[in-house]
Structure 1
Amino acid sequence: MTKKILCATDGTSHSQHAVELAATLASTLAVPLVICTVNVGRGGARGPLIFSLEESEVKRILDSAAAVAKAANVKTVEEVSLKAREAASAIVHYAEENGCDHIITGTGDKHGVSRLVLGSVAADVASRAHCTVTVAR
């Protein structure tokens, strides 16, 4: 039985499907919803660690997703900004450490060579997670 849902979003149209599904499910089950985004850091070995998003963009992504959840009548909505070098491991680690037993994430249109080169956060989350993972399309 689902007791707490974690929805990972990056603010793209693909992740919007995940936010909407997570909000509907959390409302229907009357469980808390944690919305997170991962600000991925690059560099750092000999130079500064540079994050891919400005803090204002992180806030916009989280606030937008939280508004969807509140409109769906989710009673408890938490917004979490994670900073990490690798998004999937940050999402799974947060879920494990914070009692989330269902992760919902979106996926893009990666096919062929771009999938092999870029990988997929959703696939990595699904393969590493300790709990149920729903990939929304």
Structure 2
Amino acid sequence: MTSKILCATDGTEHSAHAVELAAQLAAKFGAKLSICTVNVAHGGSRGPLIYTLEDDQVQKILDNAAAIARKAGAGHVEELALRSREAASAIVQYAEENGYDHIVVGTGDKRGVSRLVLGSVAADVAGRAHCNVTVTR
């Protein structure tokens, strides 16, 4: 049974689809919905630790996603700002440590060389997660 859903978003159009589906699932199952975004860190070993996004950008992404979720039927929506060097591991670790039983993520249209170079957070989450993962397109 699905009782806690974690939906990861980066503010892009493909992640908006994930938020909509996660909200619909939460409404259908009466599940708790948490939306997270991961602010990825760079540097730090000999220089300063620099995050990809400013705090106000993270909050804007979360607020926009929460509005999409409410419009799609979710009741209470929790917003979570995570910080990590790697987005997929942060999502999976948070879900496992906090007892989520379903993760929803979106994926873009990466193929061939761009997939090899850029990787895919969605594929990494699906491969590492302890629970069900839904990948939207």
Task: Report the TM-score range of the alignment, normalised by the length of the smaller protein.
Answer: over 0.9
Identity %: 70
- 1:105 partner SS: strand
Residue in 2 that maps onto 1:122: 122
Residue in 2 that maps onto 1:67: 67
Structure 1 residue runs without a partner (length 5+):
none
1:109 is displaced (CA, Å) by: 1.0
Cα deviation code 1:36-69 (max 9, x no counterpart): 0000000111100100011111000100111122
1:73 is displaced (CA, Å) by: 3.3
Residue 55 (1) aligns with residue 55 (2): yes
1:14 is displaced (CA, Å) by: 1.1
Q: How many residues align?
A: 137
**Distance (whole Å) between structure 2 residues aligned to residue 119 and residue 133 of structure 1:** 18
TM-score when normalising by structure 1? 0.97
**Distance (whole Å) between structure 2 residues aligned to residue 40 and residue 2 of structure 1:** 28
Structure 1 runs of 4+ aligned residues shifted over 2 Å read none
- 1:45 partner SS: coil
TM-score when normalising by structure 2? 0.97
- 2:93 partner SS: helix
